[in-house]
């Protein structure tokens, strides 16, 4: 009985960490893209004080029948710098790519934007900041809206970023 209890506790401890639940591992690069015709609609992230980095996960929603064009951006930020990015020409955010630097304890970001048959430029709004430094982040696009942009700034003392999101409706 004691051996079974030890085995169960070992399995539970192994499952408790972020590996396997997240798109990325701490301090490692990652790329995430939604399936064709979808855009990012749900974002969660958890900060590690030990690694001074975040793990991320995303979900997607159906957005258009078929994308007419998609582009990857160049990196939209430098380390430790604030940035604001919105997808061009009525397109939506369908993917992201990032890498971490241990010297600055920050990430640089690229985004993948796709445009469908209908532009997404109506009733656009910014979410306001969705997290505090070193705290859990959870954001979901409001009903009938689509993610079109991102704003973030970095704090060198906390070694973390605060995030807000831009979203719009279809025209």
pLDDT digits (tens, 9 = 90+) for 23-55: 999 999 999 999 989 999 999 999 999 999 999
Question: What are 88-143's pLDDT values in tens digits?
Answer: 999 999 999 999 999 999 999 999 999 998 999 999 999 999 999 999 999 999 99
First to last CA, the chain: 63
**Bridge-partner residues for 43, per DSSP?**
58, 139
Query: What's the average model confidence in pLDDT over 11-27?
Result: 63
pTM: 0.87
């Amino acid at each position: 009985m004691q051996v079974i209890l030890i085995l169960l506790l070992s399995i539970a401890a192994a499952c408790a960490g972020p590996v396997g639940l997240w798109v990325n591992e701490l301090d490692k690069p990652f790329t995430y893209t939604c399936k064709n015709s979808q855009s990012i609609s749900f974002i969660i992230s958890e900060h590690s004080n030990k690694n001074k980095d975040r793990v991320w996960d995303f979900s997607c929603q159906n957005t258009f029948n078929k994308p007419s064009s998609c582009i990857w951006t160049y990196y939209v930020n430098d380390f430790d710098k604030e940035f604001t990015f919105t997808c061009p020409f009525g397109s939506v955010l369908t993917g992201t790519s990032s890498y971490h630097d241990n010297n600055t304890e920050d990430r640089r970001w690229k985004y993948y934007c796709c445009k469908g048959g209908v532009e997404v430029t109506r009733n656009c709004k910014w979410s306001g900041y969705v997290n505090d430094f070193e705290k859990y982040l959870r954001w979901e696009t409001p009903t009938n809206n689509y993610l079109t942009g991102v704003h973030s700034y970095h704090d060198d003392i906390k070694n973390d970023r605060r995030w807000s999101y831009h979203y719009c409706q279809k025209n």
